[in-house]
Amino acid sequence: MAPSVRYADPRLGLLEGELLASARPFICRTLGLPPPLVALCEAVKARLPHVDLPEILREIAAWTGFTEKFTHISEREARAAHLPISLCAVLMVEAYNIGLSPLVRSDVTALRWSRLVWVSQHYLWNDTLTEANARLVAAQNQIPLMLAHSTGLLATKSKWT
């Protein structure tokens, strides 16, 4: 029986370094992409700051307050210390479908294995996900660029609704 790849690192098996550099012309020809486009992408990538996606999610949480919509399934008023950090980690795990292991840090209380399991089991439920999503959509609708280009329709549907 083959092992499950559901929780495997999605980056496994990707070409890197010399292998990627030598395969790039072939990949570009196969995809019908001119190599200058690849060079442009690399130049743009080099100019962008390196930011971890979990940090972006935490910044969005600070701007929008969407993590406030996550309440404990039985103790609605209970709030654990550093809950937004744990929630953002669990949301990343769910979004990438990678399992908890890549985000577990025993030196950070909010990112310990037991804490992430507890948050996943007690804070992620249909009502809280729906309310948090509504908070995000409301915040997005206040961005001037979105107002100028939006049709007002939601492009995706949550897997929990």
Q: Does residue 160 surpass a pLDDT of 50?
A: no
Mean pLDDT of 45-63: 85
Q: Does residue 66 surpass a pLDDT of 70?
A: yes
Residue pair 70/124 in contact by the 8 Å Cβ criterion: yes
Q: Does residue 53 surpass a pLDDT of 50?
A: yes
Q: Does residue 20 surpass a pLDDT of 70?
A: yes
Mean pLDDT of 19-37: 81
The rounded percent of the chain whose pLDDT value lies above 70 is: 89
pLDDT band at 148 (very low <50, low <70, confident <90, very high): confident
Q: Does residue 149 surpass a pLDDT of 90?
A: no
Give the CA-trace dihedral at 14, 17, 22, 27, to 10 degrees. Answer: 30
Q: Does residue 87 surpass a pLDDT of 90?
A: yes
